């Protein structure tokens, strides 16, 4: 598998991940506030850290926490507290993702604001459907 490099804006968090087969997106209010807009991410995967000096975690719900760089503020990771080993990784932090990789799911479609739409057709799930499928956001 091809490994891709990832890092925050300042480089105090740096890591490697396997090249993803697909991407997810989430329109929920938490993700939009945290990431600045729709959150596009790699599905839960193993992250190999090369530098985690700036990494901090914020417990954003009973079931999950969000990782960010405490120096430059980049939004980086989302993980479930029941399995801290795998992380959903923000696409903006990962370099070299192929143009052939597609966003295959939109989560919390009912929370999407009207002022943007993602181009193309894919599976769209409501928050209730996400909870039913994964047990957590």
Site residues (CB under 5 A) for Zn ion? Answer: 8, 10, 12, 26, 28, 31, 54, 69, 71-72
**Residues 21/98, Cβ–Cβ less than 8 Å:** no
User: Based on CB atoms, which residue is closest to Zn ion, 58 or 98?
Assistant: 58
* Closest distance of CB 2 from Zn ion, Å: 24
* Closest distance of CB 63 from Zn ion, Å: 12
User: Based on CB atoms, which residue is closest to Zn ion, 28 or 125?
Assistant: 28
User: Based on CB atoms, which residue is closest to Zn ion, 72 or 97?
Assistant: 72
Strand partners, 15: 6, 49
With tokens 């993803």, the residue in question is 20
Assign residue 91 a region (left: φ > 0; alpha: ψ between -120 and 50; beta: otherwise).
alpha
Q: Which two tokens stand for residue 98?
A: 């192929």
* Closest distance of CB 134 from Zn ion, Å: 11
* Closest distance of CB 84 from Zn ion, Å: 18
**Residues 35/29, Cβ–Cβ less than 8 Å:** no
- 98 phi and psi angles, rounded to 5 deg: -65, 145
User: Based on CB atoms, which residue is closest to Zn ion, 12 or 129?
Assistant: 12
């Amino acid at each position: 598998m091809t490994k891709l490099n990832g890092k925050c804006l300042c480089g105090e968090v740096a890591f490697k991940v396997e090249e993803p087969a697909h991407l997810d997106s989430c329109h929920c209010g938490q993700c939009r506030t945290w990431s600045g807009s729709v959150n596009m991410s790699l599905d839960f995967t193993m992250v190999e850290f090369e530098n985690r000096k700036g990494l901090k975690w914020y417990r954003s719900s009973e079931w999950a926490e969000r990782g960010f760089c405490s120096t430059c503020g980049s939004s980086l990771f989302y993980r479930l507290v029941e399995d801290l080993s795998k992380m959903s990784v923000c696409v903006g932090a990962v370099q070299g993702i192929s143009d052939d990789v597609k966003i295959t799911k939109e989560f919390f479609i009912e929370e999407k604001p009207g002022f943007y739409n993602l181009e193309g057709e894919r599976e769209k799930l409501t928050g209730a459907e996400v909870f039913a499928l994964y047990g957590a956001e």
